[in-house]
């Protein structure tokens, strides 16, 4: 690659930043999109500033002066070719003076928008910097000895034997289902519903009988009424 050639990310940055020179108003949503796209390139803001000022502006500023300028997007191949040509040619003194004068007169039309994009970009960078210090656990081998010790340290004391369901600090629940059997009829699987129903029955002193679709003849040889009557002979309550 030539010394002055554009890198892949610089080309992407040029394509994104060229929207600053379109003959149309840049909306806040477009600014957010530009900042997000530029952040993914991981180029410093100073380098992006240089791309806007030294690479894109000399090539694209005439579009800002045209009464019928390009508004839908520039031809990327032509744009990259012009930018690289200027980099290789290294404009002389007269060209540089002309570019500086044009920037002084016309640059103010894009700098307010570019400044807002940069502010959005800096917000992305600050968020990324905060998250950069957060470790991602893929394997225990990634943890140091102190980290492994801290992760494995129990934060809650294990419950004493016989007190898994009922902490000693909580009053005993009402035993309204003592010596009763509750039939749980499930037409389809439901982890949370089954756990909640069985736990509630146990807390109230009852016993549960789980009946799935394959355990009863509901809908095959029995109607819901038949199943209810049969269950009612042995079970106190049926939950469906």
Query: Which residue, among 178, 177, 196, 172, has the nearest Cα to 186 in the 3D structure?
Result: 196
Q: What is residue 46's predicted lDDT score, i.e. its pLDDT? A: 92
In the chain, at which residue ranges do the beta strands (DSSP E only) sit? 181-185, 207-211, 237-239
Other Cβ atoms less than 10 A from the Cβ of 61: the count is 18
Q: What is residue 169's predicted lDDT score, i.e. its pLDDT? A: 57
Domain ranges across the chain: 8-131, 181-239
Q: What is residue 132's predicted lDDT score, i.e. its pLDDT? A: 57
Q: What is residue 120's predicted lDDT score, i.e. its pLDDT? A: 93
Low-confidence ranges of the chain (pLDDT < 70): 1-3, 130-138, 142, 151, 154-171, 213, 217-222, 224, 227-240
Q: What is residue 25's predicted lDDT score, i.e. its pLDDT? A: 86
Q: What is the CATH number of domain 181-239?
A: 3.40.50.1370
Q: What is residue 137's predicted lDDT score, i.e. its pLDDT? A: 65
- CA 37/CA 42 separation, integer angstroms: 10
Other Cβ atoms less than 10 A from the Cβ of 235: the count is 20
Q: What is residue 73's predicted lDDT score, i.e. its pLDDT? A: 82
Q: What is residue 135's predicted lDDT score, i.e. its pLDDT? A: 59
Q: What is residue 53's predicted lDDT score, i.e. its pLDDT? A: 92
Q: What is residue 180's predicted lDDT score, i.e. its pLDDT? A: 82
């Amino acid at each position: 690659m030539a010394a002055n050639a554009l890198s892949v990310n610089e080309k992407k940055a040029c394509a994104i930043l060229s929207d600053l020179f379109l003959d149309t108003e840049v909306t806040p949503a477009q600014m957010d999109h530009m900042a997000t796209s530029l952040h993914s390139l991981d180029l410093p803001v100073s380098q992006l500033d240089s791309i806007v000022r030294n690479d894109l502006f000399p090539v694209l500023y005439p579009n800002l002066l045209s009464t019928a300028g390009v508004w839908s997007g520039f031809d990327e191949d032509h744009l990259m070719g012009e930018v690289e040509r200027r980099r290789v040619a290294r404009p002389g003194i007269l060209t540089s003076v002309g570019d500086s004068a044009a920037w002084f007169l016309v640059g103010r039309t894009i700098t307010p928008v570019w400044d807002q994009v940069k502010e959005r970009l800096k917000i992305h960078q600050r968020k990324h910097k905060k998250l950069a210090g957060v470790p991602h656990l893929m394997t225990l081998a990634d943890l140091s000895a102190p980290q492994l010790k801290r992760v494995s340290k129990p934060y809650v004391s294990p419950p004493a034997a016989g007190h898994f369901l009922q902490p000693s600090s909580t009053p005993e629940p009402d035993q309204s289902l003592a010596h009763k059997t509750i039939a749980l009829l499930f037409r389809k699987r439901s982890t949370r519903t089954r756990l909640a129903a069985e736990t509630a029955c146990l807390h109230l002193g009852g016993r549960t009988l789980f009946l799935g679709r394959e355990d009863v003849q509901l809908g095959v040889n029995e109607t819901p009424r038949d199943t209810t009557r049969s269950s009612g002979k042995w079970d106190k309550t049926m939950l469906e």
